[in-house]
């Protein structure tokens, strides 16, 4: 009942106070996205938001393969990044991932499925609770989110589900090491006809003593057979563990 | 209302002067290659509304018994205007269309030749059967109205490697692979003209959506050994030497080594997209766009080679 009441109150707030607050507090969107107020209301409501040139999304101007768009996010020069949230404004499922770089650089590379041309944003939350935003427009022919995964049409993945490939590279500037991972998983969005959502929703990296290095929550738009690059601060073997929304779990140790 | 009628009359007059019912005038100008052999040189650009998809070289041979067309272009309108350009040079009918490979800019004009046999390598027909409508849809998106009424017309005859005589002309059909899994080249024995399809590019960056670089490099060596006097590349100006072969080889080798090297250094795709391209390739048309596309096509396989499979351990 309490939850229901809160929902009603929230709804009223949106209708009465929402637009006024948005006009007063939301900075203008440099990407001029038609969905900016929706995005701001959904993910940053009541929280301070600034656009910050140090927070970057690197992606091709145009998506050659809408099922597999490469993206790198970074917040170099921004201290104390607690969380990085990546959203694509005009995707049917906007939230792509959220990343906590506990003992890692505030940077991550991944690939995602795009449905149509859209802004791709990263929001980096610093310790003071401020969301620092950066982003780019991505042009796309689209259809990536509503296309069945290759895996859904090929029974081979069932025997290789959650198979992990990976390797560590020392960073060029000796600041730590890069971990690259590939996990076999269909990452079905649930938007293709007759194929339910089925995706990896969490990956945790730890060192050999069990100290957590980074935590990643992935959502439906992350590309099939996710390929990820993490920039970790320390050195040594990394324990990878993760799981999907149906309770399948995986674990692998990557040694230098 | 009279100004509306005036506008309608002006519009009607405008349409009647255009070469084709599609409304897009490709202004095709056959370039003589050798006696009875011509090519239509497209722009060294990407698909756009301004170029109507004409970024491709096609060709034709006026043989004793009729005309042999090599590639029908990107749209129905292009095919019709290609046919009209041929008719200005000869009264002979087109008796054969040969398609070099399954990319849309080379094959979507075939509707202009009803009743004429259209031949390709069997694997080309397979690809067009499976993906033709998707390729067509993409061109409608990129090119727009110049594509009007264009549909995929599947080949209805098979071409095979070897010597053939078509319409009284001795040709050598060469089945190869590399740019795609089925690339047909046409060598005219009479004039020693080689229609190389997209196995050779010149001053226009090669495209790789279905490329196999090792196979392509092997094929380029075979092309180098052919006794051609003229070479019509799939994209870029007509050649009478081996410069296009050397340039295509140089670029593909660099692309392979660069992507492989990046994968071995642990780079991810967004970083690879930003790598510089050497000075010697900077004059190639649409370089940055095609390089970025190639990273998307080719890098996943190179990076996977650098990532060993980790034995499963028990989840904690």
Q: Round to whole Å and give the CA distance between B196 and B244.
A: 10
- Tokens 């996205």 correspond to A33
Q: Round to whole Å and give the CA distance between B300 and B259.
A: 10
Which has the closest alpha carbon to A115: A97, A96, A141? A141
Q: Which residues of B touch A227 (CB under 8 A)?
A: 268, 300, 303
Strands (E), chain A: 49-51, 56-58, 62-63, 69-74, 81-88, 95-100, 104-112, 118-126, 131-140, 164-170, 177-183, 200-207, 212-218, 227-232, 238-244, 249-254
The verdict on a CB contact (< 8 Å) between A59 and B270 is yes
Q: Round to whole Å and give the CA distance between B52 and B145.
A: 8
Show contacts of B35-40: CB within 8 Å, 24+ apart: B35/B190, B35/B191, B36/B61, B36/B62, B36/B63, B36/B190, B36/B191, B37/B61, B37/B62, B37/B188, B37/B191, B37/B193, B37/B230, B38/B62, B38/B89, B39/B232, B39/B238, B40/B73, B40/B82, B40/B85
* Strands of A69-74's sheet in order across: A56-58, A69-74, A104-112, A227-232, A177-183, A164-170
Question: Could you tell me the domains of chain A?
Answer: 34-254 (2.60.40.2470)
Q: Round to whole Å and give the CA distance between B115 and A147.
A: 37
Minimal Cβ distance to B266: which of A60, A178, A253: A178
Q: Which residues of B touch A252 (CB under 8 A)?
A: 310-313
pLDDT of res. B14: 42
The verdict on a CB contact (< 8 Å) between B313 and A111 is no
pLDDT in tens, B78-98: 999 999 999 999 999 999 999
For residue A2, is pLDDT > 60?
Answer: no
For residue A150, is pLDDT > 80?
Answer: no
pLDDT in tens, B192-242: 999 999 999 999 999 999 999 999 999 999 999 999 999 999 999 999 999
Q: Contact, A182 vs A164, CB < 8 A? A: yes
Mutation target for A interface from B271, B291, B293, B315: give the one with most A CBs within 10 A.
B315
Which has the closest alpha carbon to A145: A96, A203, A210? A96
H/E stretch holding B15: helix B2-17
Give this prediction's pTM: 0.87
Q: Round to whole Å and give the CA distance between B96 and B60.
A: 10
Domain locations along chain B: 24-242
Q: Contact, A184 vs A200, CB < 8 A? A: no
Q: Contact, A134 vs A55, CB < 8 A? A: yes
Contact residues of A toward B, CB < 8 A: 58-62, 64-65, 68, 70-72, 109, 111, 141, 163-167, 169, 178, 180-182, 227, 229, 239, 241, 243, 249-254
Minimal Cβ distance to B296: which of A65, A181, A254: A65
The verdict on a CB contact (< 8 Å) between B270 and A252 is no
- Residue B112 is classified by DSSP as G
pLDDT in tens, A4-58: 444 444 444 344 333 334 444 789 999 999 999 999 999 999 999 999 999 999 9
Minimal Cβ distance to B307: which of A111, A141, A180: A180
Q: Which residues of A touch B274 (CB under 8 A)?
A: 58
Q: How many residues does chain B have?
A: 316
Minimal Cβ distance to A60: which of B273, B312, B315: B273
- Residue B192 is classified by DSSP as T
- A177 to chain B: closest CA residue: B266
For residue B12, is pLDDT > 60?
Answer: no
Render A82-132 in DSSP notation, one character per residue: EEEEEEETTSSS-EEEEEE-TTEEEEEEEEE--SSSEEEEEEEEETTSPEE
Q: Cα-atom radius of gyration of chain A, to the nearest Å? A: 19
Mutation target for B interface from A57, A122, A180: give the one with most B CBs within 10 A.
A180
The verdict on a CB contact (< 8 Å) between B296 and A71 is no
From residue A212, how far is each of A122, B57, B203, B313 by CA, in Å? 23, 58, 52, 18
- Tokens 């990296």 correspond to A205
The verdict on a CB contact (< 8 Å) between A251 and B312 is yes
Q: Contact, A55 vs A72, CB < 8 A? A: no
Instruction: Determine the distance in angstroms separating the CA of B193 from the nearest CA of chain A, rounded to an integer.
Output: 35
Homologous superfamily of the B24-242 domain (CATH) = Ribonuclease Z/Hydroxyacylglutathione hydrolase-like (3.60.15.10)
* 3-state DSSP assignment of residue A42: helix
Query: Where is pLDDT greater, at A132 or A24?
Result: A132
Distance between first and last Cα of chain A: 53
Q: Which residues of B touch A241 (CB under 8 A)?
A: 315-316
Percent of chain A whose predicted confidence (pLDDT) is above 70:
89
pLDDT confidence tier of residue A148, bands split at 50, 70 and 90: confident
Q: Round to whole Å and give the CA distance between A14 and B19.
A: 58
pLDDT in tens, B155-197: 999 999 999 999 999 999 999 999 999 999 999 999 999 999 9
Q: What is the mean pLDDT of chain B?
A: 92
Residue A32: both structure tokens together:
């001029």
pLDDT of res. A237: 97
Q: Which residues of B touch A165 (CB under 8 A)?
A: 304, 307-310
Beta bridge partners of A120: A88, A136
Q: What is the mean pLDDT of chain A?
A: 88
Measured at the CA of B39, the angle between CA B36 and CA B40, to 5 degrees, comes to: 140
Distance between first and last Cα of chain B: 81
Q: Contact, A91 vs A114, CB < 8 A? A: yes
Strands (E), chain B: 31-34, 37-40, 58-63, 66-70, 94-98, 118-120, 157-158, 162-166, 169-176, 183-188, 193-201, 230-235
| A–B CB contacts, 8 A cutoff, strictly below | 87
Q: Which residues of B touch A141 (CB under 8 A)?
A: 138, 141
Mutation target for A interface from B46, B139, B140, B266: give the one with most A CBs within 10 A.
B266
Q: Which residues of B touch A61 (CB under 8 A)?
A: 292
Spell out the residues 6+ positions from residue B94 whose beta carbon is closer than 8 angstroms to its own.
Answer: B60, B66, B67, B68, B69, B83, B86, B113, B116
Q: Can you say how many angstroms the Cα of residue B77 is from the centroid of all Cα atoms in its chain?
A: 17
The verdict on a CB contact (< 8 Å) between B312 and A141 is no
ipTM over 0.90: no
Beta bridge partners of A56: A74
Minimal Cβ distance to B313: which of A141, A169, A253: A253
* 3-state DSSP assignment of residue A70: strand
Q: Round to whole Å and give the CA distance between B206 and B247.
A: 10
- Residue A222 is classified by DSSP as B
- B293 to chain A: closest CA residue: A64
Region of poorest pLDDT, from A201-205, A240-244, B13-17, B116-120: B13-17
């Amino acid at each position: 009942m309490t939850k229901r009441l809160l929902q009603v109150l929230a709804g009223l707030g949106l209708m009465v106070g929402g637009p006024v607050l948005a006009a007063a507090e939301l900075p203008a969107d440099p990407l001029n996205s038609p969905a900016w107020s929706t995005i701001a209301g959904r993910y940053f409501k009541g929280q301070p938001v600034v656009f910050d040139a140090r927070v970057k999304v690197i992606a091709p101007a145009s998506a050659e393969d809408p099922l597999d768009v490469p993206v790198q996010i970074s917040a170099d020069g921004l201290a104390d990044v607690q969380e990085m949230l990546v959203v694509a404004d005009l995707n049917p499922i906007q939230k792509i991932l959220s990343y906590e770089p506990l003992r890692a650089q505030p940077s991550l590379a991944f690939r995602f499925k795009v449905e149509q041309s859209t802004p791709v944003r990263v929001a980096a939350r610093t310790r003071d609770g401020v969301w620092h935003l950066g982003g780019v427009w991505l042009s796309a022919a689209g259809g990536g989110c509503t296309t069945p995964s290759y895996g859904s049409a090929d029974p081979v993945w069932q025997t290789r589900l959650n198979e992990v490939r990976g390797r560590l590279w020392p960073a060029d500037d000796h600041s730590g090491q890069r971990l690259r991972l590939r996990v076999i998983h269909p990452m079905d969005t649930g938007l293709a006809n007759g194929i339910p959502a089925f995706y990896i929703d969490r990956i945790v990296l730890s060192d050999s003593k069990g100290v957590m290095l980074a935590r990643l929550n992935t959502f439906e738009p992350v590309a099939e057979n996710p390929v990820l690059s993490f920039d970790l601060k320390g050195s040594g073997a990394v324990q990878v563990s993760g799981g999907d929304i149906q309770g399948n779990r995986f674990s692998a140790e990557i040694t230098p | 209302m009279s100004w509306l009628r005036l506008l309608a009359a002006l519009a009607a007059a405008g349409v009647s002067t255009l070469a084709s019912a599609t409304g897009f005038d490709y202004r095709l100008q056959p370039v003589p290659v050798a006696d009875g052999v011509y090519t239509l040189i497209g722009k060294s650009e990407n698909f756009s509304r301004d170029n109507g998809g004409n970024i491709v070289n096609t060709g034709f041979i006026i043989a004793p018994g009729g005309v042999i067309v090599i590639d029908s272009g990107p749209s129905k309108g292009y095919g019709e205007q290609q046919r009209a350009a041929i008719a200005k040079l000869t009264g002979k009918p087109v008796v054969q269309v040969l398609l070099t490979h399954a990319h849309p800019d080379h094959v979507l004009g075939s509707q202009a030749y009803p009743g004429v046999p259209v031949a390709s390598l069997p694997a080309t027909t397979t690809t067009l059967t499976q993906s033709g409508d998707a390729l067509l849809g993409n061109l409608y998106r990129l090119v727009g109205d110049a594509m009007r009424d264009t549909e995929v017309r599947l080949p209805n005859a098979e071409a095979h490697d070897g010597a053939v005589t078509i319409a009284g002309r001795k040709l050598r059909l060469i089945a190869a692979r590399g740019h795609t899994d089925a690339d047909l080249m046409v060598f005219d024995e009479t004039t020693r003209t080689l229609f190389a399809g997209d196995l050779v590019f010149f001053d226009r960056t090669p495209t790789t959506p279905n490329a196999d670089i090792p196979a392509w490099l092997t094929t380029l060596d075979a092309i180098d050994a052919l006794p051609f006097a003229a070479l019509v590349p799939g994209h870029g100006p007509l050649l009478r030497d081996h410069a296009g072969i050397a340039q295509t080889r140089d670029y593909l080798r660099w692309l392979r080594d660069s992507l492989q090297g990046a994968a071995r250094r642990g780079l991810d795709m967004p970083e690879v997209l930003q790598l510089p391209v050497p000075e010697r390739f900077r004059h190639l048309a649409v370089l940055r766009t095609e390089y970025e596309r190639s990273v998307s096509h080719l890098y996943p396989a190179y990076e996977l080679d650098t990532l060993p499979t980790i034995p499963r351990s028990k989840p904690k």
